[in-house]
Structure 1
Amino acid sequence: MANEAKPCPCDIGDRMDYGGLGQEVQIEHIKAYLVKPSTESDKAVIVIQDIYGWQLPNTRYMADMLAANGYIAVCPDFFDGKEPWSSSHDWSKFQEWLEEKKPTNITKEVDVVLRFLKEQCRANHIGAVGFCWGGIATHYLALQYPEVKAAVSVYGIIREKEDSYELKSPTLFIFGEKDVIIPLDQVSALEAKLKEKCTVDYQVKIFPGQTHGFVHRKREDINPTDKPSIQLARTDMLNWLSKYM
C-alpha cells in the first residue's frame, strides 16, 4: 500500500492556481503523485497522464488544482514503469511505442488505485480526469467502472467502436477547434453516437481556436489570447466534477 501523504497547504484563495503541492508515493506495484486538500475530504479524482507520462509537470499541476478545490488527487503511472514518450523520440516509431501502452489495457492499475482511494484515503466519491492518452483512458473508465461517478475526457482521440458510447458515468468531453489530431468531424460523430446510445448525462464541448493540449498547459506557456478559454475549460471541468460528486 502507499505511504500516507500529509495534507498539503493549498492556496484556496486562488482555486485555479497550482504548483508542486504533492508527493510521490508507492501504491502496490505502481508509483503515483498524490495531493491532498488542506481539509479532510471523501472525494477523490484519478488524474490520468498523457503520452509524456505521470511525471509531466503539466499533469501534476492539474492534480494540484483539483486538490486546491477540495479533492484528493492521484496521478498514477499508468505506464507501469515503461518509458513515456518524449518529444525527442522518432515519431515514425510512435505506433510501435503505443502498442504496449494501450489506454484500454489499464484494468489492473485502475483496480489498484480504486482500492487505495477507498481503503487508504476513505474516498466515497471518485471521479476521473484525463488528457490526450488519458482522455481515452478516462472514456474507458466511464464505460467500465460505475463507481467512477464523474469523468472528464480532455482531447482523447476518438476510436470508432460500437461499444464506446454506452457510458456508465456522466462524462464531459472537451476538445479544441484547431486540434490537428482530432478532426471536428470525429467530434461530431461522437456526439451523434452518444445522443443515440448514451443514457447517462454527457456533454461535448469544443473550444474555438484552441489546439491539442490547451487545457493542461503550464501557466508560463499560456498567452493572453488563450487564457479565457483555458480558464473556462478548467472551470467546466471543476463544475462537472462538483455536479456529480
Structure 2
Amino acid sequence: MANEARPCPCDIGDRMEYGGLGQEVQIEHFKAYLVKPPEASDKAIIVIQDIFGWELPNTRYMADMLAANGYLAICPDFFLGKEPWNSSRDWSSFTEWREDKKPTNIDKEVNLLLRFLKEQYGVKRIGVVGFCWGGIATHYLAFRNPEVKAGVSFYGIIKLDEDRYDLKSPTLFIFGENDHLIPLDQVSALEANLKEKCTVDYQVKIFPGQDHGFAHRKREDISPTDEPKILEARADMINWLNKYI
C-alpha cells in the first residue's frame, strides 16, 4: 500500500515459487483460498491479501503456516474478481486502480465469510491477519467487528484523520523501521492514540532495518541479517493469535 500523503504502489519484493497446500472454494459471489489444519479445529484465521491479490503465493504461504499451527486459514478474494495491482503497471494509475478496492468496504463479504466458517466448519473463534492493504483491513475489523477475537496487522497504512483507535479486539501492529511508505512519526502517532483511547490489549512493534513487506514478501534466505527479523515477526504473529484465540 502507500503513504496516504502521496499515494503510490509498493514493490512486490520476492515472489515465492509456491503452490499452496489448500483449495479454492466459492462463497456466494467471491472465491477464497482455504487450508485446513492437521487436526480439526474450531478456530479460524481470515488472511487478508495485499494489493497483489489473494492468489499471490507469498500470502498463501502465510495461510498455510497458520494452518500448520492449528488454525483453519482462509484467504478471500476481497477484490471480488477485479484485477490486482501489477508491478508492471504505470504507478500514476494506482489511485484510479484502488478506487473500487477500499479495505474498509468489506463488511458484506466478512459477514458472509463468518457465516460460512460457522456453518461449514463449526468455527467458534475467529482472528484476522492482514498484509499491507490487508493490514488496513485488519485494523478496520479490529475496530468495527466484535466477532474478531484478535488481529495482526502487518504494515497497514495509518490514516490519522480517521478515529479508529478504540479497538474491539487485541491487535498486534507490525512495521519495518525503514518502510518508506509508512513514516515512523505516523507509527508513533498510532501508538499515542491507542494509548489514549484503546481499552483492549495492543502492541506496536517496529523491526529494525526492515522495509515494507518484509515479513511475507522478502525471502528469509537472502540475508543473514534479515532472516531472524522475518522469522521473529512470523513467530510474534503466531504467539499473539495463540494468546487471544
Q: 2:59 — aligned with what? A: 59
Partner of 1:83, secondary structure, is: coil
Q: What CA distance in whole angstroms lies between the structure 2 residues aligned with 1:95 and 1:72?
A: 34
The equivalent residue for 2:68 is 68
Q: After the TM superposition, which residues 180-191 of structure 1 pair with which residues of structure 2 at under 5 Å, given as runs? A: 180-191=180-191
Q: Partners in 2 of 1:19 and 1:100 — Cα distance? A: 29
Provide the aligned length of Structure 1 versus Structure 2.
Answer: 228
Task: Give the TM-score normalised by structure 2.
Answer: 0.90
User: 1:6-155 counterparts in 2 under 5 A?
Assistant: 20-155=20-155
Question: Would the alpha carbon gap of residues 69 and 221 (structure 1) be closer, same or farther in structure 2, given more than 3 Å must change?
Answer: same
CA contact (8 A) 1:58 1:218 kept: no
1:224 equivalenced with 2:195 (yes/no): no
| Offset from partner CA, 1:144-199 (integer Å, 9 cap, x none) | 11110000000000001342101001000000000000000000000000000000
Per-residue deviation at 1:218? 5.5
C-alpha distance in 2 between matches for 1:173 and 1:222:
24
Distance 2:138 2:172 in 1: 10
1:49–1:134 CA contact under 8 A, matched in 2: yes
Comparing 211-220 and 29-38, the one that deviates more: 211-220
Rounded Cα–Cα distance in structure 2 between residues aligned with 1:19 and 1:228: 24
Query: Retained in 1: the 8 A contact 2:146–2:169?
Result: yes
Contact 2:44/2:73, CA 8 A, preserved across alignment:
yes
8 Å CA contact 1:129, 1:151 repeated in 2? yes
Residue-by-residue CA offset, 1:80-104 (whole Å, 9 max, x unaligned): 0111000011100101111110100
DSSP-derived class of the 1:59 partner: helix
Judged with a 3 Å threshold, the aligned counterparts in structure 2 of structure 1 residues 178 and 220 are, in CA distance, closer, same or farther, namely closer
Structure-1-length-normalised TM-score? 0.90
- Give the conservation status (yes or no) of the 8 Å contact 1:103–1:134: yes
Q: What residue in structure 1 maps to residue 158 of structure 2?
A: 158
Structure 2 stretches of 5 or more lacking a match?
1-17
Cα distance between partner residues in 1 of 2:42 and 2:89: 40
Q: Give unpaired runs (5+ residues) of structure 1.
A: 1-17
8 Å CA contact retained: 2:220, 2:230: no
Q: Secondary structure at the match of 1:120?
A: helix
Identity %: 78
- Corresponding residue SS for 1:156: coil
- Residue 223 of structure 1 deviates from its aligned partner by 2.5
Q: Deviations over 1:192-241 (max 9, x none)?
A: 00000000000000000000001112647642220000000000000000
Deviation at 1:60, TM superposition (A): 0.4
CA 1:172–1:220: 2 relative to 1, 3 Å: closer
Runs of 4+ in 1 over 6 A off after TM superposition: none
Contact 2:220 2:227 in 1 (8 A): no
Matched AA of 2:170: P
Aligned residue type for 2:172: L
How much does 1:112 deviate?
A: 1.1
